[in-house]
Amino acid sequence: MTATRPARPDEAVLGVAPGAVAEPATVEEAAEVMKGCARDRQRLVFVGGGTDLGVGAPPAGVDVLLRTGRLSRVVEHSPSDQIVVAEAGLTLAALQRTLAAHGQRLGLDPPGAEQATLGGIVAANAFGAHRTRFGTARDLIIGLSIVRADGTAARGGGKVVKNVAGFDLPRLFVGSLGTLGLITSVTFRLHPLPEASATVAVEPITGGQARALVVATREAQLEPASLMLLAGSGALRLGVRFEGFGPGVRQQTGRFSGLVQAAGLRGELLDEAGAEAFWARHEAARTSGAVRVRLAAPPSALEQVLAGAVAPLAGGLGQGWAVLDPWVGCGFAGGTPADPASAVAALQRAREALVALGGSLTLAAAPPAVRAGFDAWGAPPAAVEVMRRLKARLDPEGRLAPGRFVGGI
Amino acid sequence: MPESHAEIETDELARRMSAVVGEAHCISDPAGLSVYECDGLSHGRIRPRLVVLPASTEEVVEVVRLAHDAGVPLVPRGSGTGLSGGARPTPGGVVVALSRMRRVLEVNLEDGWVRLEPGVINLDVTRAVQGRGWYYAPDPSSQSICSIGGNVAENSGGAHCLKYGFTVNHVLGARLVLDGGEVVDLGGPSPDTTGYDLLAALVGSEGMLGIVTEVTLRLLRKPEATRTFLATFPSSDEAGEAVSGIIAAGILPAAIEMMDTLAIQAAKAATGLNWPEVGSILLMDVDGPLAEAEHTSAAAIGIARSAGALEVRIPVDEAERQLMWKGRKSAFAAVGRLSPNYMVEDGVIPRSEIARVLREIGRMAGEAGLRVANVFHAGDGNLHPLVLYDARNPGEEEKAAKLGGDILRLCVRLGGSITGEHGVGAEKAAYMADMFAPEDLETMFLVRCAFDPEARFNPDKVFPTPRLCGERPGPYRPHPAEAAGLVERW
Ligand SMILES: Cc1cc2nc3c(=O)[nH]c(=O)nc-3n(C[C@H](O)[C@H](O)[C@H](O)COP(=O)(O)OP(=O)(O)OC[C@H]3O[C@@H](n4cnc5c(N)ncnc54)[C@H](O)[C@@H]3O)c2cc1C
């Protein structure tokens, strides 16, 4: 059995100190840790890079913190089949470096790639600006290996992109936040690195204009790789990135610029440094602030989202920012509130507005004073009873990240 | 009080079901029942006790309650085009056919989705919105007859799934009736609904979790341009090399389909196309913004030529393009012209192995003394070997089945799958153990138990050995530390 060590103070999970820490170096060792915990009926929380530990609620208790960082091997990369199998603790940046050497990439770009691990990205369903084009982990995962609460190692999916044999365990684990089992390896489909990439920035722009531009872009049959509205102090700014082969990218940026002009707006085709700065600013926003939330609502509701959610958050969170993907209908907001009570009030208002639109607001980071007044998930979804039954089947004793998930799961 | 199905008389069950769906929609006469004895896989027929055709979620709920109380298994059914026996009746069970539930309930092009009943035919989704330039991407070859409910259950794919993904990438929400009649809504039109992705578990679950009575699908704006070409090759070696080369060049075609000589002969016989009877044909679509499509199609043609293409044909107009695709899509059924009987296989291999696997299949077929026609989705390595045989020759059907099974095992050995789109159903349950360890299957089974603990729905499919969900998990037992008052659960 892998030895555990005492937890350091900075290893507390949302204020809950673990009894001990295990850092298995192999999948077999990880399974041993899980078996040991099953035998001793210990509660576990899994940690990868720790970049998204603020998602969800604090665990009810942690006897053993299992860190996946040493499970960091690329198990198999087949460039000609455009798939990669990698252990869960490998960081996204390390994976992307391996893939880039073969002209490929994983179409996921959440912030903090140097720390964020593949297992953590899948468990937290983390994503970045490339979601417009590639979707989320759900759209790219094709296989995974897990260890169940009772220590049983199992696998779902496979190594080929097209495969419908058996139930879809890989996708079921996307966003499960370590409550269904330990993810030990993941298999993704890959995409080629684009030959060309170009970003057009539109500033200033209002919510209404941004929505109209999104509709016009779709009607013009353009296919943006990223489309992001940045809201900070001052005016809104829209960035649109096109990727592909040179001629396609040139034509798409040209036509998009035409749409911008026709709408009476000012667009600028950014040079390489400018584009890099724009997306870096997007990423910096996403990781700043003591309070951070994820937003979702139908894309057509962009103006209501800005007025009903982003505006109150900007006021209540202090130095608030928001980034919204108006193509998909998702986004993030955050800030560092001076006073927890006004933050809670703003969060509540924003959540009510989003829920009324059919969307949601969930916490991605918050200090205890804010968490005390604001539930991380909000009202449980319609199917929460089925979710409880699923949890009860895979983790009957409720030992995996207890209380972290929706509805107290 | 639940009764076992041995106890309830079929007549009594029919009376109760008729009271829900109407007498005209509860089939109990032998001639009527015989239509439902199988799906697209015609062997292994089983006559159901009854077939009911509910018209609404409410009626489905009542049907499920009655079956639950009577202890009778249910098999959901869409259009019955499945190729793995997924809708094959369970002995003593009732088939619930969704073909009367065919309404498109809501179209929202602002947000790009449509909500509809499960009996809606795949192609009718696109038909409902194409006038405004939209379409539904997954395009199984059976799209003019198969239902969305069946597509959801099978996670169906199609030629264009290489670029656009499978059914699972396009289902946003579903309404599901569980055993006992509980109705749950999974997902929805807004992105990122909270909680587990139960929708992902539902798509591809082959009718084993419950009955889907409503589906919300993502719609896409039609691409600006599509460029199609057909390339002929002396053998599948060169064609396979062309496919690898195109992918290696960073091109993501909308579709790349491959046919071998036998499949070409069949397609020609069925459609009168003037295709040369070469070793292999590739049919490829690239689409997207105009300049991107032009560029990638020219690049792909260049790669095909340098891989050894004998000839490249570019359709002069949409009519000729449609004809080329008709040739491809009719190849399946057309094989019937070459042989009195054939079996359709559906395996997946890593794309890079195509040429090697086709040679190996040829060798295995030769050894078995049978012919195999290959027509398949080359871009994602999804093979459809069609094993030709003559059932009148004693022992030949068994030989064909064995060859089909050997091909599937070959796929698994190379790191592939026993099914890329047709599902496991009744037909391939026996091969699941070749692909998955007992622990893997057990984990999947636990998922099934969470939804359908008494195995009401499609009980005898997918899993190689029938099982029970066992004890329901007990109530939560507090952790010792919790019991001792050291920690609190909130
Ligand atoms: C000529 C031909 C070509 C084909 N080409 C393709 C292809 O290219 N790609 C592909 O993926 N498939 C293909 N198929 C297979 C088949 O068409 C698909 O599997 C299709 O999705 C089945 O739909 P159906 O409505 O006929 O479902 P059925 O055959 O009636 O049922 C299939 C499964 O779905 C379940 N089911 C049906 N409706 C519901 C519901 N409402 N709720 C819960 N469960 C339900 C059934 O229990 C069963 O397990 C082809 C079939 C044929 C005959």
B345 alpha carbon – ligand 1 mean position (Å): 15
Tell me how close the Cα of B462 comes to any Cα of chain A, in angstroms: 7
Q: Which of B331-335, B412-416, B474-478 has the lowest mean pLDDT?
A: B474-478
B204 → closest Cβ in A168, A246, A383:
A168
pLDDT averaged over 10-residue windows placed end to end, chain A, 409 residues: 87 96 97 97 97 96 98 97 97 98 98 97 98 97 98 97 96 98 98 97 97 98 97 90 97 98 98 97 94 98 97 90 97 95 97 98 97 97 96 98 97
Identify whether A385 is part of a domain: no
In this structure, the answer to whether residues B376 and B435 fall within a common structural domain is no
A60 → closest Cβ in B289, B462, B490:
B490
Residue B438 CB partners (closer than 8 Å, separation 6+): none
In this structure, the answer to whether residues A58 and A101 fall within a common structural domain is no
Residue A308 CB partners (closer than 8 Å, separation 6+): A349, A350, A353, A354, A356, A357
Which position has the token pair 């390896």? A185
Residue to substitute in B75, B146, B166, B215 for testing ligand 1 pocket (most ligand atoms within 8 angstroms of CB): B146
* Number of domains chain A contains: 4
In this structure, the answer to whether residues B394 and B409 fall within a common structural domain is yes
Tell me how close the Cα of A3 comes to any Cα of chain B, in angstroms: 22
Q: How many CA atoms lie within 13 A of A34 on its CB side?
A: 27
Confidence of residue B6 (pLDDT cuts 50, 70, 90): low
Q: In this complex, do B157 and A162 lie within 8 Å of one another by their Cβ atoms?
A: yes
Out of B57, B73, B97, pick the residue that ends a domain.
Answer: B97
* Window 311-370 of A, Cβ < 8 Å to B: 328-330, 357-360, 362
Which position has the token pair 């929505």? A211
Sign of CA dihedral B302, B303, B304, B305: positive
Strands B280-288 and B225-233: antiparallel
* Number of domains chain B contains: 4
d(CA A65, CA A46): 6
Identify whether A308 is part of a domain: yes
Tell me the chain A residues in contact with residue B435 when contact means C-beta distances shorter than 8 Å.
158, 165-166
Identify whether A400 is part of a domain: no
Identify whether B4 is part of a domain: no
Identify whether B265 is part of a domain: yes
Beta-bridge partners for B34: none
Tell me the chain B residues in contact with residue A328 when contact means C-beta distances shorter than 8 Å.
191
B267-279: average pLDDT: 92
Identify whether B274 is part of a domain: yes
Identify whether A382 is part of a domain: no
Out of A283, A312, A340, pick the residue that ends a domain.
Answer: A283
In this structure, the answer to whether residues A188 and A81 fall within a common structural domain is yes
Q: What is the pLDDT of residue B487?
A: 38
In this structure, the answer to whether residues A121 and A184 fall within a common structural domain is yes
Tell me how close the Cα of A399 comes to any Cα of chain B, in angstroms: 8
- Tell me which of B83, B194, B435, B457 to substitute to probe the interface with A (most A C-beta atoms closer than 10 Å): B194
In this structure, the answer to whether residues B260 and B381 fall within a common structural domain is yes
In this structure, the answer to whether residues B232 and B189 fall within a common structural domain is no
Structural contact between residues B288 and B224, judged by C-beta atoms closer than 8 angstroms: yes
In this structure, the answer to whether residues B367 and B245 fall within a common structural domain is yes
Q: What is the pLDDT of residue A235?
A: 85
A172 → closest Cβ in B201, B349, B473:
B201
CATH number at residue A333: 3.30.70.2740
In this structure, the answer to whether residues A115 and A171 fall within a common structural domain is yes
Identify whether B417 is part of a domain: yes
In this structure, the answer to whether residues B280 and B306 fall within a common structural domain is yes
Identify whether B292 is part of a domain: yes
d(CA A217, CA A326): 12
Identify whether B445 is part of a domain: yes
Nearest of A320, A326, A324 to residue A347 by alpha carbon = A320
In this structure, the answer to whether residues A135 and A184 fall within a common structural domain is yes
In this structure, the answer to whether residues B424 and B436 fall within a common structural domain is no
- Tell me which of B154, B177, B190, B348 to substitute to probe the interface with A (most A C-beta atoms closer than 10 Å): B190
Tell me the chain A residues in contact with residue B476 when contact means C-beta distances shorter than 8 Å.
397-398
Identify whether A377 is part of a domain: no
In this structure, the answer to whether residues A149 and A187 fall within a common structural domain is yes
Out of A169, A192, A215, pick the residue that ends a domain.
Answer: A192
Share of chain B above pLDDT 70, in %: 94
Range of the domain at B451: 430-489
In this structure, the answer to whether residues A21 and A90 fall within a common structural domain is no
Tell me the chain A residues in contact with residue B290 when contact means C-beta distances shorter than 8 Å.
251
Tell me the chain B residues in contact with residue A249 when contact means C-beta distances shorter than 8 Å.
292
In this structure, the answer to whether residues B445 and B460 fall within a common structural domain is yes
Q: What is the pLDDT of residue B469?
A: 86
Q: Residue type at B174?
A: A
Structural contact between residues B255 and B162, judged by C-beta atoms closer than 8 angstroms: yes
Range of the domain at A357: 287-371
In this structure, the answer to whether residues B342 and B475 fall within a common structural domain is no
* Window 340-369 of B, Cβ < 8 Å to A: 348-352
CATH number at residue B178: 3.30.465.10
Regarding an ipTM greater than 0.90, the answer is yes
Tell me how close the Cα of B329 comes to any Cα of chain A, in angstroms: 19
In this structure, the answer to whether residues A161 and A233 fall within a common structural domain is no
Identify whether A397 is part of a domain: no
* Window 224-283 of A, Cβ < 8 Å to B: 244-252, 255
CATH number at residue B45: 3.30.43.10
Out of B221, B236, B251, pick the residue that ends a domain.
Answer: B221
Identify whether B152 is part of a domain: yes
In this structure, the answer to whether residues A43 and A98 fall within a common structural domain is no
In this structure, the answer to whether residues A123 and A219 fall within a common structural domain is no
| Token couple for B425 | 């159903």
d(CA A143, CA B316): 42
Q: What is the pLDDT of residue B489?
A: 32
Range B223-254 burial, b when 16+ CB lie within 10 A, else e: bbbbbbbbbbbebbbbbbbbbbbbbbbbbbbb
Identify whether B367 is part of a domain: yes
Q: How far is CA B128 from CA A264, B86, B334, in A?
A: 34, 28, 30
Instruction: Please determine, for residue B484, whether its predicted confidence score (pLDDT) is greater than 50.
Output: no
Out of B221, B250, B284, pick the residue that ends a domain.
Answer: B221
Q: Which residue of B has its CA nearest to A43?
A: B479
| pTM of the predicted structure, to 2 decimals | 0.95
Tell me the chain B residues in contact with residue A382 when contact means C-beta distances shorter than 8 Å.
184-186
In this structure, the answer to whether residues B112 and B162 fall within a common structural domain is yes
B80 alpha carbon – ligand 1 mean position (Å): 6
Secondary structure of residue B472 in the 3-state scheme: coil
Residue A404 CB partners (closer than 8 Å, separation 6+): A45, A56, A57, A58, A59, A177, A178, A179
Identify whether A398 is part of a domain: no
Q: What is the pLDDT of residue B476?
A: 39
In this structure, the answer to whether residues A177 and A79 fall within a common structural domain is yes
In this structure, the answer to whether residues A175 and A85 fall within a common structural domain is yes
Out of A31, A50, A67, pick the residue that ends a domain.
Answer: A67
In this structure, the answer to whether residues B403 and B263 fall within a common structural domain is yes
Please indicate if any CB of chain A lies within 8 Å of the CB of B223.
Answer: yes
B226-232: average pLDDT: 97
In this structure, the answer to whether residues B408 and B438 fall within a common structural domain is no
Which position has the token pair 């870096």? A280
Residue to substitute in B100, B117, B154 for testing ligand 1 pocket (most ligand atoms within 8 angstroms of CB): B154
Element (H, E) at B285: strand B280-288
Q: What is the pLDDT of residue A377?
A: 98
